Amino acid sequence: MFMLAPETAHEVAVHAMAAGRLTGLSRLIAGPRPRFPVELMGLQFPNPVGLAAGFDKNGDSIDALGALGFGHIELGTVTPKPQPGNPRPRLFRLPEFEAIVNRMGFNNKGVDHLVQRLQNARYDGILGANIGRQKDTPTDQAAGDYLVCLEKVYAWCDYVAVNISSPNTPNLRELQDTGPLKELLDELVAARSRLESEHAMYRPIVLKIAPDWDEAALTASLEVIGASGLDGLIATNTTLDRSPVAGHRHAAEAGGLSGRPLMTLSTQVLQRARNVLGKNFPIIASGGVHSGADAAAKQAAGANLVQLYTGFIYEGPELIRACTRNWSASRQHAAA
Ligand SMILES: Cc1cc2nc3c(=O)[nH]c(=O)nc-3n(C[C@H](O)[C@H](O)[C@H](O)COP(=O)(O)O)c2cc1C
């Protein structure tokens, strides 16, 4: 796969899985799903290791990915309407660093397509739906896009992740500033209450934040999140920082950097989030997990669950097992 252009390799893998051809093979490669149950946000996660958003944006490979052993899979990011994303090339590998730079730009088939996929999924782990805003929706109207998506996915997933931290949708990160953030979270929490009574079911909503902050702004936004009534946090998305890969031929490509070089920065943000939000607030770690030891480091910094993306590309599905193995029962109980 590494001999193909990065995005082509990704498409081949996802399409083959979507066709079901790899489902049986996946199970053979991965063996039974590693078991280490974690209860969080009222949900029973079969193990603490999930697939981060962006790998299966449209929900086309849910069952095949599930067969690899993930305890949860986060689909999306989806937007209200389909959109093509940025022109190619928009995905770059930095194998010397086990990293990726991407500027995909929320290419996706739209929320209705994802809902249909969720309705047909047989995977028995936890399914998250990650939602975003359309590229050309201005910040002051962004809430409308999130609400459209929230209403559509609500009954068909186990939790909803609100993505305000992609660096590849112009001005999206403005929603992380305390003013717009508070307005957005108030609307989401109100919608969650309305949908809870309409559907007679509760769906937790988590917020996915960036790793790129100055400390005062991060603390201020975390305080807004903590007071909002939201159910959890994902820390973090990709970074704009290129210092860890300086000099690489792809270092200057626009987009978000993920993989090994993101580990330190995203773990610092996770730790800060744990300190500000207190010991009981659900936090899912994402960013730079390439080994069981990395997963344990995320747990030590305060994570309740961990997600993989770039590490899964470089290390393969065995990483799910390694991370589950290193997840510590004692810390799990200490955090509970
Ligand atoms: C190619 C690519 C596409 C991504 N697309 C999304 C996305 O649509 N939504 C999202 O919330 N995060 C997206 N991400 C970010 C990942 O979910 C993850 O948070 C980030 O890559 C850090 O984790 P990692 O170092 O394990 O890759 C994407 C990452 C990559 C590499």
Q: Which residue owns the Cα nearest ligand 1 atom 11? A: 53
Best CATH choice for the domain 6-335 from the list 3.20.20.70, 3.40.190.10, 3.40.50.150, 3.30.70.1400: 3.20.20.70
Q: Is 269 in the pocket of ligand 1 (CB under 6 A)?
A: no
Atom of ligand 1 nearest to the CA of 52: 17
pLDDT at 335: 52
Cβ 46 under 6 angstroms from ligand 1: no
Distance from the CA of 335 to the center of ligand 1, in angstroms?
Answer: 26
Q: Residue 209 C-alpha to ligand 1 middle, in angstroms? A: 12
Q: Which atom of ligand 1 is nearest to the CA of 234?
A: 19
Query: Does the C-beta of 311 come closer than 6 Å to ligand 1?
Result: yes
pLDDT tens-digit profile, the chain (336 residues): 777 788 888 788 777 776 665 666 766 677 788 999 999 999 999 999 999 999 999 999 999 999 999 999 999 999 999 999 999 999 999 999 999 999 999 999 999 999 999 999 999 999 999 999 999 999 999 999 999 999 999 999 999 999 999 999 999 999 999 999 999 999 999 999 999 999 999 999 999 999 999 999 999 999 999 999 999 999 999 999 999 999 999 999 999 999 999 999 999 999 999 999 999 999 999 999 999 999 999 999 999 999 999 999 999 999 999 999 999 876 655 555
Q: If you take atom 3 of ligand 1, which residue's CA is the nearest one? A: 54
Active site residues: 166
- Which pLDDT belongs to residue 6? 86
Residue with the nearest Cα to atom 10 of ligand 1?
A: 53
pLDDT at site 20: 60
pLDDT given for residue 19 in this prediction: 67
With vertex at residue 83, the alpha carbon angle to CA 81 and CA 87, rounded to the nearest 5 degrees, is 170
Predicted local confidence at residue 21, as pLDDT: 57
pTM of the entire structure?
0.97
Establish how many alpha carbons lie within 13 A of residue 200's alpha carbon, considering only the half-sphere containing its beta carbon. 0
324 lines ligand 1 (CB under 6 A): no
Domain ranges of the chain: 6-335
Instruction: Print the SS3 string covering the chain.
Output: CCCCCHHHHHHHHHHHHHCCCCHHHHHHHHCCCCCCCEEECCEEECCCEEECCCCCCCCCCHHHHHHCCCCEEEEEEECCCCECCCCCCCEEEEHHHCEEEECCCCCECCHHHHHHHHHHCCCCCEEEEEECCCCCCCHHHHHHHHHHHHHHHHHHCCEEEEECCCCCCCCHHHHHCHHHHHHHHHHHHHHHHHHHHHHCCCCCEEEEECCCCCHHHHHHHHHHHHHCCCCEEEECCCECCCHHHCCCCCCCCCCEEEEHHHHHHHHHHHHHHHHHHCCCCCEEEECCCCCHHHHHHHHHCCCCEEEECHHHHHHCCHHHHHHHHHCCHHHHHHHC
C-alpha 288, offset from chain centre:
12
Is residue 99 within 6 Å of ligand 1 at its C-beta?
Answer: no
In this structure, the residue with its CA closest to atom 19 of ligand 1 is 237
Token look-up 């770690």 returns 285
Amino acid 88: pLDDT = 97
Residue 239 beta carbon below 6 angstroms from any ligand 1 atom: no
